[in-house]
């Protein structure tokens, strides 16, 4: 027989292992000799039980397996049953083997050599499992069906069965069948307990009583298991077939029944409540509604005002709520306790051991738990499956929500809604691709800063509100097959609205101006790659009324246009030479542009210059309103008290570029850059709150503007983006200079404002005011120029300076001609030409060899001053540039003082020619651009003062060099 | 006491002693705050006037004829102009008149003009009479004094005269006459053409 051979094989294996175990345990602490009579009794019991098992296997188990194989639903159960049966058999055989061995050798047995004691946990485990598999089979009426299936076999063996359990009554076959698999097993456990308790009586040794306790516990557990099983089995036969079919499950056990411990469902929605080990079920007629205990929360704090004598339990599930009413507080208490214990057990994934009865030690389940739930009710979440932290029936914490259509949200949840940072993938209907939103959510919709990568490869980076783009944002569409564009500007409910810059990449055209409902609407400037620019009013994407066209050759047209920006109608043309033409312009397919009008050839020079350098946009788009969408969230963040967790929501998050990523990886083995300051708002506030002096703040800001995680740097980065979107590329147009420099100064002011607010917040938190920046209200602007601008200007300088260069192109050209002309002159010739008093000529500086004459020396006089002035281009900070000019002056004065051998105070009559000399020798390119850059961006409080004077002196030199008499001077 | 910064530009032919007058004015009194200067080209001095302090920011200009055209850069934004001539040289008085004319046409509105007939210590070789100067000054509404930078005559008075002519600061109006209150200007951001 197959079972017999396997039995012997197992026996052999067991033997080997047990002997090894025994060897290992030699020398253990407890030594207690067991009397041979007790050993003998145990040996007999094991022998009898083994015999029984073998017999049972032959008579009943094999038949059961054969009969059960017919019913596919039972196959698995029976398999498990069979396995646990054999597991048990093996265990008993091993126990028997070791006992017999020692008994035969007549060795005295130590307690710790006893297999039963050595392997106590194994015994407990195997018996537990056996009873579980038996009851699983039992509750689904496995025995009943097996009895029916092979009724003739059983009938013939009924007597044998009855003998096996020494029963005299005439019970039905299925009851007998059940009992032969249960009763002797229980008895055997009992036998163990008795044996152990006899042993314990003789000795007080702790390990022994521990083992005894485990077997007592096992006994209790077994009877509870059997109890639960029979209760459950009874239930399945009581309720209707339909309900049984729906609810019956081998591992499901009835834990409580409202018919047993009475509770009613409020509003009479259901007539009966059943609590199982894995779910809570409400019955109404033949209908049932069940709730997975993993997603059930019980609240016992509710009270009903109308009926204060009712004791209520609120059952909370993700999509349903049921209130249980009990008349007695004990009933309420029992249900509450049982439900909570079962929830805890189901969350742990295992039942308690023993099932009940450790009341004092157990805890309630956590309110916040990791669960999975699929929503069924109508609504946003229908058919979506949530997996993650839940609390009181709602997604709360971190989790993933997957919709049936492929939509997927991973992130933070609060009270059942997406809230906090989250990444959401939304399938795009047209393509097999996704829109990917990485952004902040509030109460289920996108709000705050976010990045969206759309399925069509366009990318939006900016602010959201109510799931729509709202506030400042950049939308870039790079798909080559469509019309690639980039919009940098304001949004209102998903539509372009307010100030914004649009760049069509194919056409090379840029629209800077107002939008409404995605349309160009309001005042605007259009720059084309041909260098022409328009200023006009738009209405629903069409240009209306009069406008201005500035062509690259500086011809200006003021007048009427067609919708497509063609000159048509009344207008005035001002040519670059100053001639004007006033008339009516027409466009005709064959003739092109033709006109009738009055040509004025008396050009007013001044008028011509203002037209040539006409500044666009400054009064159309007040600088305070242009980028409000960027500053506002920052301000709100400051106003909201700078809470760390809201920082990204307001200020956006730091996205590492690949270059940065590389850098961050370098950190793995390099020391972290010491210049980085923390970007965490708490750290920032802590750090700045101790500043005493302005220098501290200055040093800090210097680092802050370089630290990629710092809010100031993030803001600066966005400002740089919008600045470049407007003024670089096609935007590098001299007609935008006024707008551009105004904008940068405004950035400085805003940053100063934020700096102040941060200091104030830091002060509030520490209870003392920080007064670094608040000396005098009237100084407010000065700080922007002296503290902020020098720090941010380097980033903007290339683009801004380009505008200055374009603006001063012509003057710089004349100036350069002058410089070249004067460059031909020798030092003495130049000094003479500039009418510098002979006594001031620093000819001592010139060392001549015998053959040289003064008249051929070049670039020797005032060498130190010349070199000094040349340094003006090494910095972008206006203040530093002014200091260089001042130093240049001191160098001139030093040289002169040396020449005349006394302190010589230079009056302007002497200084100006000397300065012209130095400027012409220094040969700084784009000096006009430099001068005007300094003048526009220097601290305005310098006006009228020493720096202003020197700058004016320098400017007058620049002017002078441009003059005809210089440019065309011939020696 | 509020400090008002007043930009003053010096105009006049080369050699009339423009910067000497200012050097005298600035040096005569011991100044607690040693202000930075650019040789004799840029000097400052603070004097009390009524209940204000007037800080003169004095800008010298080059008197050479060839630099005449650069002067507007210096006098723009000035509250006052001191135009100097040499009483011993009729030519210089003639140049002065040209300056006055230019200031009237292109100078800042309401600019206070002060005429200084320098070198009055050399009245022996006088070519311009006091009477002529006074009549001319009256005709254009300017202050006039004869000074001697060498002997420190009337230098102080010249600037006192200017101070008196500067209207007191109206708190609601911000220096329409080119006077500037310390550190506070509505900075015109429009870019100038050169």
**Contacting A residues, span 823-842, partner chain B, CB-CB under 8 Å:** 835
Instruction: Map residue A357 onto helix, strand or coil.
Output: coil
* Residue A249 pLDDT exceeds 80: yes
Contacts of B8 in chain A (CB under 8 A): none
The residue whose two tokens read 């290992």 is A24
Split at pLDDT 50, 70, 90, the class of A959 is: very high
Inter-chain CB proximity B39 and A906 less than 8 Å: yes
Q: Delimit the domains of chain A by residue range.
A: 34-235, 239-366, 401-507, 513-613, 623-652+678-806, 808-967
In chain A, which among 906-935 make CB contacts under 8 A with chain B? 906-909, 911-913, 928, 932
- Please check whether residue A124 is in contact with residue A354, taking contact to mean a CB–CB distance below 8 angstroms: no
Tens digits of residue pLDDT in A158-212:
888 888 877 777 778 888 888 888 888 888 888 888 888 887 776 666 677 788 8
- In whole angstroms, give the CA distance from residue B60 to residue A911: 10
The tokens of A469 are what? Answer: 């783009």
Q: Let me know the angle formed at the C-alpha of A508 by A503 and A514, rounded to the nearest 5 degrees.
A: 35
Given a cut of 50, whether residue A289 has pLDDT beyond it is yes
What span, in angstroms and rounded, lies between the C-alpha atoms of A850 and A841? 20
Other residues' Cβ atoms within 10 Å of the Cβ of residue A39: 19
Distances in Å between the alpha carbon of A203 and those of A409, A718, A930?
Answer: 64, 82, 103
Contact B194 A944 (CB under 8 A): no
Of all residues in chain A, the one with the smallest CA distance to B182 is: A941
The answer to whether A523 and A618 have CB atoms below 8 angstroms apart is no
A808-967 architecture in CATH?
Answer: Up-down Bundle (1.20)
- Chain B positions contacting chain A at CB under 8 Å are 5, 7, 10, 14-15, 18-19, 23, 36-42, 44, 57, 59-64, 66-67, 69-70, 73-74, 77, 180, 182-185, 187, 189-194
A696 vs A763: CA distance, rounded Å: 15
User: In DSSP terms, which residues pair with A315 in a beta bridge?
Assistant: A298, A322
Q: Which secondary structure element, helix H or strand E, spans residue A290, and what is its range?
A: strand A287-292
Of B40, B67, B184, which is closest to A778 when you measure between CB atoms? B184
Alpha helix ranges (H) inside A767-788: 780-783
Chain A residues with CB inside 8 Å of B194's CB?
808, 811, 928, 932, 955, 958-959
Q: Residue A280's closest CA among A304, A262, A255?
A: A255
**Nearest-5° angle of CA A365, CA A371, CA A375?**
125
Q: Which of B1, B44, B6 is nearest to B25 (CA)?
A: B44
Q: B8 to chain A nearest CA, in Å? A: 9
Is pLDDT of B44 > 80?
A: yes
Question: Does B15 sit within 8 Å of A911, measured CB to CB?
Answer: no
Distance from CA of A952 to the nearest CA of B (A): 7
Which position has the higher pLDDT, A14 or B81? B81
**3-class secondary-structure state, position A616:** coil
Fold exhibited by the domain A239-366: PH-domain like (2.30.29)
How far is Cα A534 from Cα A947, in angstroms, rounded to an integer?
38
Q: Looking at the predicted structure, is the pLDDT value of residue A275 above 50?
A: yes
Alpha helices (H) along A239-297: 241-247
- Please indicate whether, in this complex, the C-beta atoms of B63 and A909 are within 8 angstroms of each other: yes
The shortest CB-CB distance from A613 to any of B5, B61, B193 is to B193
pLDDT tens digits, residue range B116-141?
998 888 888 889 899 999 999 999 99
- For A393, counting Cβ atoms within 10 Å of its Cβ (0-12 exposed, 13-18 middle, 19+ buried), the class is buried
Query: Smallest Cβ distance to A908: which of B44, B62, B184?
Result: B62
Q: Where are the beta strands (DSSP E) in A614-691?
A: none
Question: Using CA atoms, how far apart are residues A276 and A438, in angstroms rounded to an integer?
Answer: 42
| CATH code, residues A34-235 | 1.20.900.10
d(CA A807, CA A614): 10
CB contact under 8 A, B183 and A782: yes
pTM: 0.79
> Among partner residues A907, A949, A953, which is closest to B19 by beta-carbon distance?
A907
Q: Which residue of A has its CA nearest to B191?
A: A738
Does residue A720 surpass a pLDDT of 70?
yes
Higher confidence at residue A848 or residue A505?
A505
The mean pLDDT value of chain A amounts to 83
Interface of A with B in 579-618 (CB under 8 A): 609-610, 613, 615, 618
Q: Using CA atoms, how far apart are residues A316 and A339, in angstroms rounded to an integer?
A: 12
CATH code for residues A513-613: 2.20.110.10
Closest approach of chain B CAs to the CA of A888, in angstroms?
A: 11
Does A909 sit within 8 Å of B39, measured CB to CB?
no
Which chain A residues are Cβ-neighbours of B36 within 8 angstroms?
A: 946
**Lowest model confidence (mean pLDDT) among A526-535, A637-646, A706-715:** A637-646
Beta bridge partners of B7: B57
- Tell me whether residues A909 and B182 touch, CB distance under 8 A: no
Considering Cα of A896, then A899, then A903, then A909, what sign does the dihedral take? negative
Q: Tally Cβ neighbours within 10 Å of residue A714.
A: 21
Choose from A814, A907, A911 for mutation: most chain B CBs within 10 A.
A907
Integer Cα distance of A349 and A346 in angstroms: 5
Please list every residue in chain B whose beta carbon sits closer than 8 Å to the beta carbon of residue A960. Answer: 67, 70
Residues 6+ apart with CB under 8 A from A806: A732, A733, A734, A737
Read off the pLDDT band of A478 (50, 70, 90).
confident
Residue A418: closest CA among A433, A393, A392, A439: A439
Task: Spell out the residues 6+ positions from residue A868 whose beta carbon is closer than 8 angstroms to its own.
Answer: A884, A887, A888, A891
What whole-number distance in Å separates Cα of residue A567 and Cα of residue A546? Answer: 10
Query: Would you state the CATH architecture of domain A401-507?
Result: Single Sheet (2.20)
pLDDT score recorded for residue A21: 44
A741/B191 touch (CB, cutoff 8 Å), yes or no: yes
Whether residue A725 contacts residue A503, with contact meaning beta carbons closer than 8 Å, is answered with yes
Same fold, A401-507 and A513-613: yes
Give the DSSP H/E element, type plus range, for residue A193: helix A183-202
- B103 by DSSP, 3-state: which? helix
Which residues of chain A are within 8 Å of residue B189 when distances are taken between CB atoms? 738, 741-742, 745, 936
> Given an 8 Å threshold on Cβ–Cβ distance, is A944 in contact with B57?
yes
The set of residues, in sequence order, having a beta carbon less than 8 Å from that of A177 and lying 6+ positions away, is A60, A64, A143, A146, A147, A154, A161
Q: Are strands B2-12 and B52-59 parallel, antiparallel or unpaired?
A: parallel
From A836's Cα to the closest Cα of chain B, the distance in A is 11
The shortest C-alpha distance from B39 to chain A (Å) reads: 4
Contact A735, A646 (CB under 8 A): no
DSSP H helical ranges for A423-515:
none
> Which of A484-493, B26-35, B43-52 is least confident?
B26-35
Residue A295, pLDDT > 50, answer yes
Share of chain A above pLDDT 90, in %: 26
Q: pLDDT tens digits, residue range A574-611?
A: 887 778 888 888 877 677 777 888 888 876 655 666 66
Contacts of residue A701, defined as CB under 8 A and 6 or more positions apart, other chains included, come to A712, A755, A787, A788, A791
Euclidean distance between CA atoms A82 and A76, whole angstroms = 10
Mutation pick from A944, A951, A953, A957 vs chain B, by most beta carbons of B within 10 Å, is A944
Q: Is the pLDDT of residue A637 over 50?
A: yes
**B128: helix, strand or coil:** coil
| Region of residue B80 (phi > 0: left; psi between -120 and 50: alpha; otherwise: beta) | beta
Q: Per-residue pLDDT tens for A309-345?
A: 788 889 999 988 888 888 888 888 888 888 988 888 8
pLDDT value of position A596: 82
Per-residue confidence (pLDDT) for residue B186, from 0 to 100: 35
Unique residue bearing structure tokens 């109404």: A284
- Closest chain A CA to residue B37: A946
- Answer yes or no: do B191 and A609 touch at CB < 8 A: no
Q: What are the DSSP calls for A844-910, one per residue?
A: GG----TT--GGG--S-TTHHHHHHHHGGGG---HHHHHHHHHHHHHHHHHHHHHHHTS-----HHH
Exposed, middle or buried by CB within 10 Å (0-12, 13-18, 19+), for A216? middle
Q: What percent of chain A has pLDDT over 70?
A: 88
A958 touches B at CB < 8 Å: yes
| Most B-contacting residue of A615, A812, A949, A955 (CB-CB within 10 A), to test interface | A949
Residues 6+ apart with CB under 8 A from A215: A120, A123, A124, A189, A192, A193, A196
Q: Which residues face A292 on adjacent strands? A: A279
The residue ranking higher by pLDDT, A773 or A566, is A566
Domains of chain B (ranges, CATH numbers): 3-165 (3.40.50.300)
Say how far apart CA B192 and CA A210 lie, in whole Å.
99
Q: Do A811 and B23 touch (CB under 8 A)?
A: no
Q: Give A-chain residues touching B18 at CB under 8 angstroms.
A: 907-909
- How far does the CA of residue B57 sit from the closest CA of chain A (Å)? 6
Residue of chain B nearest A779, judged by CA positions: B183
* pLDDT score for A690: 76
Instruction: Tell me A184's DSSP state.
Output: H
Exposed, middle or buried: residue B144 (CB in 10 Å: 0-12, 13-18, 19+)? buried
Residue A782 touches partner B, C-beta closer than 8 Å: yes
- Beta bridge mates, A410: A400, A423
């Amino acid at each position: 027989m197959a079972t017999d051979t396997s039995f012997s094989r197992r026996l052999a294996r067991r033997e080997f292992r047990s002997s090894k175990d025994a060897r290992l345990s030699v020398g253990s602490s407890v030594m207690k000799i067991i009397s041979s009579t007790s050993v003998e009794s145990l040996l007999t019991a094991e022998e009898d039980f083994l015999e029984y098992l073998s017999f049972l296997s032959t008579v009943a188990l094999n038949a059961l397996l054969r009969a059960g194989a017919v019913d596919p639903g039972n196959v698995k159960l029976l398999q498990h049953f069979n396995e646990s049966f054999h597991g048990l058999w093996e265990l008993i055989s091993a126990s028997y083997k070791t006992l017999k061995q020692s008994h035969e050798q007549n060795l005295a047995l130590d307690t710790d050599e006893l297999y039963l004691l050595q392997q106590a946990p194994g015994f407990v485990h195997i018996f537990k499992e056996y009873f579980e598999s038996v009851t699983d089979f039992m509750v689904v009426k496995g025995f009943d069906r097996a009895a029916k299936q092979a009724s003739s076999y059983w009938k013939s063996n009924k007597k044998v069965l009855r003998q096996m359990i020494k029963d005299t009554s005439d019970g039905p076959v299925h009851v007998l069948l059940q009992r032969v698999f249960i009763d002797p097993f229980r008895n055997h456990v009992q036998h163990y307990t008795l044996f152990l308790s006899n042993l314990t009586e003789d000795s007080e040794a702790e390990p022994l009583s521990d083992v005894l306790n485990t077997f007592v516990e096992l006994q209790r557990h077994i009877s509870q298991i059997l109890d639960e099983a029979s209760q459950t089995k009874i239930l399945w036969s009581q309720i209707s077939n339909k309900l049984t079919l729906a609810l019956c499950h081998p591992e499901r056990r009835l834990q409580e029944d409202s018919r047993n411990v009475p509770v009613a469902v409020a509003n009479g929605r259901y007539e009966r409540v059943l609590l199982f080990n894995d779910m809570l079920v409400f019955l109404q007629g033949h209908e049932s509604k069940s709730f997975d205990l993993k997603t059930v929360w019980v609240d016992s704090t509710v009270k009903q005002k109308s009926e204060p004598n009712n004791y209520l339990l609120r059952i909370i599930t993700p999509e349903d709520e049921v209130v249980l009413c009990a008349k007695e507080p004990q009933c309420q208490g029992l249900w509450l306790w049982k439900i909570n214990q079962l929830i805890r057990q189901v969350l742990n994934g295992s039942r308690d051991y023993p099932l009940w009865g450790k009341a004092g030690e157990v805890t309630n389940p956590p309110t916040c738990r990791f669960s999975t739930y699929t929503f069924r009710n109508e609504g946003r979440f229908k058919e979506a499956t949530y997996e993650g932290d839940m609390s009181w029936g709602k997604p709360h914490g971190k989790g993933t929500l997957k919709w049936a259509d492929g939509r997927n949200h991973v992130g933070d949840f609060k009270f059942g809604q997406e809230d906090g940072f989250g990444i959401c993938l939304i399938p795009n209907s047209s393509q097999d691709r996704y829109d990917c939103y990485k952004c902040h959510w509030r109460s289920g919709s996108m709000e705050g800063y976010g990045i969206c990568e759309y399925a069509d490869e366009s990318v939006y980076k900016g602010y959201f509100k109510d799931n729509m783009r709202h506030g400042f944002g950049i939308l870039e569409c790079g798909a080559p097959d469509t019309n690639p564009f980039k919009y940098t500007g304001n949004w209102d409910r998903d539509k372009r609205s307010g100030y914004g810059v649009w760049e069509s990449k194919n056409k090379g055209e840029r629209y800077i101006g107002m939008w409404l409902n995605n349309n160009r609407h309001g005042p605007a400037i259009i720059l084309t790659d041909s260098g022409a620019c328009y200023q006009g009013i738009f209405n629903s994407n069409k240009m209306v009324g009069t406008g201005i066209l500035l062509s690259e050759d500086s011809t200006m047209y003021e007048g009427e246009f067609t919708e497509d920006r063609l000159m048509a109608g009344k207008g005035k043309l001002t040519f670059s030479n100053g001639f004007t033409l006033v008339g009516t312009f027409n466009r005709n397919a064959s003739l092109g542009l033709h006109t009738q009008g009055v040509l004025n050839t008396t050009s007013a020079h001044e008028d011509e210059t203002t037209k040539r350098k006409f500044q666009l946009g400054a009064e159309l788009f007040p600088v305070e309103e242009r980028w409000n969408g960027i500053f506002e969230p920052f301000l709100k963040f400051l106003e909201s008290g700078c809470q760390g967790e809201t920082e990204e929501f307001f200020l956006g998050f730091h996205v590492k570029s690949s270059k940065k990523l590389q850098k961050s990886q370098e950190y793995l083995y390099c020391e972290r850059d010491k210049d980085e300051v923390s970007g965490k708002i708490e750290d920032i506030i802590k750090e700045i709150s101790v500043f005493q002096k302005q220098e501290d703040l200055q040093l800090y800001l210097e680092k802050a503007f370089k630290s990629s995680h710092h809010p100031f740097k993030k803001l600066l980065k966005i400002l740089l983006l919008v600045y470049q979107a407007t003024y670089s590329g096609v935007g590098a147009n001299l007609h935008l200079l006024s707008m551009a420099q105004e904008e940068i100064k405004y950035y400085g002011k805003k940053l100063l404002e934020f700096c102040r607010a941060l200091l104030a917040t830091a002060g509030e938190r520490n209870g003392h005011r920080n007064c670094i920046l608040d000396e005098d209200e009237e100084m407010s602007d000065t700080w922007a120029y002296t503290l902020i601008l020098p720090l941010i200007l380097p980033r903007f300088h290339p683009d801004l300076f380009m505008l200055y260069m374009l603006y001063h192109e012509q003057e710089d050209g004349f100036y350069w001609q002058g410089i070249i002309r004067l460059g031909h002159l020798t030092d003495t010739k130049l000094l003479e030409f500039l009418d510098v008093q002979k006594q001031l000529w620093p000819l001592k500086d010139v060392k001549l060899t015998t053959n040289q004459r003064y008249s051929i020396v070049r670039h020797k006089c005032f060498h130190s001053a010349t070199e000094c002035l040349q340094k003006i281009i090494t910095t972008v900070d206006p203040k530093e540039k002014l200091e260089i000019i001042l130093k240049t002056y001191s160098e001139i004065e030093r040289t002169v003082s040396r020449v005349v051998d006394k302190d010589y105070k230079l009056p302007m009559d002497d200084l100006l020619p000397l300065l012209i000399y130095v400027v012409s020798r220094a040969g700084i390119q784009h000096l006009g651009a430099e001068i005007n850059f300094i003048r526009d961006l220097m601290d305005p409080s310098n006006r009228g003062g020493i720096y202003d004077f020197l700058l004016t002196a320098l400017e007058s030199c620049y002017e002078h060099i441009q003059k005809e008499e210089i440019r065309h001077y011939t020696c | 006491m509020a400090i008002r910064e007043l930009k003053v530009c010096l105009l006049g032919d080369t050699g009339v002693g423009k910067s000497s007058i200012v050097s005298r004015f600035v040096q005569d009194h011991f100044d607690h705050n040693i202000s930075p200067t650019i040789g004799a080209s840029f000097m400052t001095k603070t004097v009390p006037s009524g209940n204000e302090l007037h800080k003169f920011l004095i800008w010298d200009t080059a008197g050479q004829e060839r630099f005449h055209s650069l002067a507007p850069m210096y006098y723009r934004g000035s509250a006052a102009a001191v135009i100097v001539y040499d009483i011993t040289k009729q030519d210089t008085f003639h140049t002065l008149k040209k300056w006055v004319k230019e200031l009237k046409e292109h100078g800042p509105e309401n600019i206070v003009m002060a005429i200084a007939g320098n070198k009055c210590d050399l009245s022996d070789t006088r070519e311009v009479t006091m009477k002529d100067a006074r009549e001319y000054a009256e005709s254009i509404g300017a202050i006039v004094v004869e000074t001697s930078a060498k002997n420190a005559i009337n230098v102080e008075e010249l600037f006192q005269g200017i101070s008196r002519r500067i209207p007191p600061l109206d708190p609601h109006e911000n220096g329409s006459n080119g006077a500037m209150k310390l550190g506070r200007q509505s900075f015109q951001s429009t870019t100038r053409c050169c």
